[in-house]
Structure 1
């Protein structure tokens, strides 16, 4: 285990001529950006819940998990905002000494919130995959188990990364505290998050490509389930800024970049996971909007029974009333894909 005595970040040995404007404050931009993205994600989740619980009347565990992730994302905005009131976003040497520890403690809390929210999004997507793709049951269950174990391990490691525990945010109090190497620890966790994001994103692709459907329909479904790629991009940006943060000495200033990209990543993951579930709501608000997409594909293999299942609210991912074959054999036109239609979100590519 890589342990070290934590660096003291204040006071910082930077001459007055080298210090940037001490009145600069990036805190407001952190609050505005994260609040905006999280508000959009929250609205989409509300619409998803309406679609799943009140229109389809088929709420699932994946919906509960994404709701929990949304609550955590909102909490992240609140805690980040409190941090700004204590100086997060200002240069460390410009902080009021009495604000240094509270600001660091609040930043530490956002790390814990991020770990739980990110894990919840990925599990929610994986649960969706369980319903959409029966032939992927084994890999999907293994993915859920792996993500749960990873989230638990990182959650505990985050809390217990220093001994004594509060040395992680109060380095001045403990001159000889033993802590995990910050750069190595956070770089490794960021890499793990990115790896699982990509895995969740690509997991259903072979099955989708094997669907007996037109190329256009397969592309539509792939696009829906790969919206999480945008969250992956945010995850990469976050990883870059994490390294910069822990290699530098001005944590209060540089932590803004990590906080922004963490909030954006969570919001994009939530949106990507929920957009495919909005069809029932859109059908209610604009009945003709999706008719050309949803009804034109009624199906390569027509039949009274398929038409009967193709009502306006058939199931959320109703774009894919298709016949497909997977590793376990033919799983029939509407049965398996429709059975799980609840929203899909990608990553953060989360697949349920």
Structure 2
């Protein structure tokens, strides 16, 4: 909640500058607003997940709580994917506004396309993993048809590795452009430090990949999967 409040504050300042002062809003502003909305949806679903059982052992939950907690643990994945992807697309749009170099523009369009393809593929796999879809969390469903867990593992690995790569691209590319812009050294250093915080996201992506690659999940999903 604290980080989301900080995100709202920085978004508000950005919108004020681009819409009110500069009067030059762009696609990067629109996409970052959409990404923030996705982040809000993710926060709401995480709160519902917490309400229904996140952090508690399955043995202490009712069947209804188990189903609901599993459901929200599945649903929260989608706004998470959309939020991260749209944020990176917003950065790509920002780079497109800052440069007219053709090779850089082609790279940004390729980045946007790859983000849509890789993460769109993951969303499709998640939606079609079980038939009916709600069988992936409803333990009372019988006769369900689900793919092998290896499909999810491979999709998660591909998405995770590409997420790390695009995190590095989205952090390093603006840094290169900033030092070509006419501004004081102190402003360039301050901007570099701020953009450098994007490496925290890269670290989180690396940690997520390592965690899911090395962890053997127990049946106590509401507790031991996250703690």
Fold equivalence (TM over 0.5): yes
Q: 1:170 aligns with which of 113, 116, 138?
A: 138
TM-score (norm 2): 0.85
Alignment of 1:211-290 (within 5 A): 219-243=189-213, 247-256=217-226
Alignment of 1:129-208 (within 5 A): 129-135=95-101, 136-171=104-139, 173-174=141-142, 177-181=145-149, 182-207=152-177
Q: Separation in 1 of the partners of 2:215 and 2:54?
A: 13
Measured at CA, do residues 248 and 241 of structure 1 come closer, stay the same or move farther in structure 2, by a change above 3 Å? farther
Map Cα deviations across residues 115-151 of structure 1 (whole Å, 9 max, x no partner): 1111110000110000112222111111112112222
Q: Which has the higher contact order (CA 8 A, sep 6+)?
A: 1
Q: Separation in 1 of the partners of 2:177 and 2:40?
A: 34
Aligned equivalent of 2:44: 78
Give yes or no for the alignment of 1:120 onto 2:86: yes
Do the aligned residues in 2 keep the contact of 1:133 with 1:204 (CA within 8 Å)?
no
Greater Rg over alpha carbons, structure: 1
Q: Shift of residue 185 of structure 1?
A: 3.4
Aligned equivalent of 2:70: 104
Name the SS of the counterpart of 2:4 in structure 1. helix
Measured at CA, do residues 180 and 38 of structure 1 come closer, stay the same or move farther in structure 2, by a change above 3 Å? farther
Give the total of aligned pairs: 223
Q: Which structure has the highest helix share of the two?
A: 2
Aligned equivalent of 2:16: 50
Do the aligned residues in 2 keep the contact of 1:245 with 1:251 (CA within 8 Å)?
no
Aligned equivalent of 2:7: 41
Q: Shift of residue 86 of structure 1?
A: 1.2
Gaps of 5+ in 1: 1-34, 258-352
Aligned equivalent of 1:31: none
Map Cα deviations across residues 87-125 of structure 1 (whole Å, 9 max, x no partner): 122112222122111111111110111111111100001
Map Cα deviations across residues 159-188 of structure 1 (whole Å, 9 max, x no partner): 112233222212452466322424443333
Q: Separation in 2 of the partners of 1:157 and 1:139?
A: 27
Measured at CA, do residues 215 and 41 of structure 1 come closer, stay the same or move farther in structure 2, by a change above 3 Å? closer
Map Cα deviations across residues 187-236 of structure 1 (whole Å, 9 max, x no partner): 33222212221122223455556678887665444334333111112222
Gaps of 5+ in 2: none
Q: CA RMSD in A?
A: 2.6
